Amino acid sequence: MESKTKAIIYTLICVALWGLIPVVSKLGQANLDNHQFLFWSSSVSFIALLVATSIVKKSKEFLSYKPGDWISAIILGFLGTYLYYILLYFGYANAQGLEVLVLQYSWPIFIVLFSVFILNEKLTPRRGLAVLLGFVGVALVLTKGNITEIHLDNYFVDMLVIGAALSFGLFSVLSKKVNLEPYTMITIFFLTASIASLVSMLLFSDFSLPTKDSIVPVLVNGLFVNGFSYIFWIKALKEAEASFVAPLVFLTPVLSALYLIIFFQEPLLPVYGIGLLAVIIGGLLNKDEKTN
């Protein structure tokens, strides 16, 4: 099977799992805040990945890690499994889900940009247009369709969500530069997130056990939406250029938006649809772009 075909399959598996992020984050934060929800989800992810690493007989790989490898994995884990989610969950708890959804999926745009400067991938005219359309979609949502006036009611939350998108974009690009065994590396990612979220929970929140209403979202999020999806994402990044797989992720908001409208009866403002359409078109423009 060709590398690009494998990359597409792995990415589409991630799309199917990541489409649940708005749903599980809203349900899971019904009685947990973003610090608590991330701590319990990351702990589930860490335990699940640790068990999976043992099952596939990769545990010995931990012993081969040099100090620099541990540092690289911890930094990547902080960016992609802690900082990204702590900001994202705060966004879903404090703003309209569809608004956060479109802003969240500016991270494939950041991947394209970072891949040019960090990985020396070529920014072709088609990719440039894809990036432009993506930013247009983000701007439409951020300004509620009024480009001349930024609505400050959720401005702080919106900026945090964009910060989350930037963090995951940087995490994805830097992951291509690190050549470590995926299972052990991702286990360290979620160990880092578990420790970091425990510290932030104790500093900025309170220790709280999941209730019966939040335990299922925590388990689904920890096992599938976060945990095992990262294995497929890292594999996708290893099989093709980052700027090739990134646009495929723009399919995720379509699935997520449908869930939000069906399960939470959220208002579908026309400008959200326009913004979502812009980022999706931008992503699809780049999907068939030839890579070096």
**pLDDT (tens place) for every residue of the chain, 292 residues total:** 688 888 889 998 998 898 888 888 888 888 899 999 999 999 999 999 999 999 999 999 999 999 999 999 999 999 999 999 999 989 888 887 767 877 887 887 888 889 888 988 777 787 778 777 777 776 676 566 665 544 446 788 889 999 999 999 999 999 988 999 999 999 999 999 999 999 999 999 999 999 888 899 999 999 999 889 999 999 998 888 887 787 777 777 777 777 777 777 766 677 777 877 887 787 677 655 554 4
222 domain residue, yes or no: yes
In a domain, 292, yes or no: no
> Are the C-beta atoms of 176 and 121 separated by less than 8 Å?
no
Cα distances (Å, whole numbers) of residue 69 to 75, 178, 236: 10, 8, 21
Residue 86 is assigned to a structural domain of this protein: yes
- Spell out the residues 6+ positions from residue 199 whose beta carbon is closer than 8 angstroms to its own: none
Which residue segment(s) compose the domain that 37 sits in?
3-287
pTM: 0.81
In a domain, 66, yes or no: yes
Number of domains in the chain: 1
User: By C-alpha distance, which of 182, 10, 160, 154 is closest to 85?
Assistant: 160
Torsion from C-alpha of 188, 194, 198, 201, nearest 10 degrees:
130
Phi and psi dihedrals of 144, rounded to 5? 55, 30
Question: Is 158 within a domain?
Answer: yes
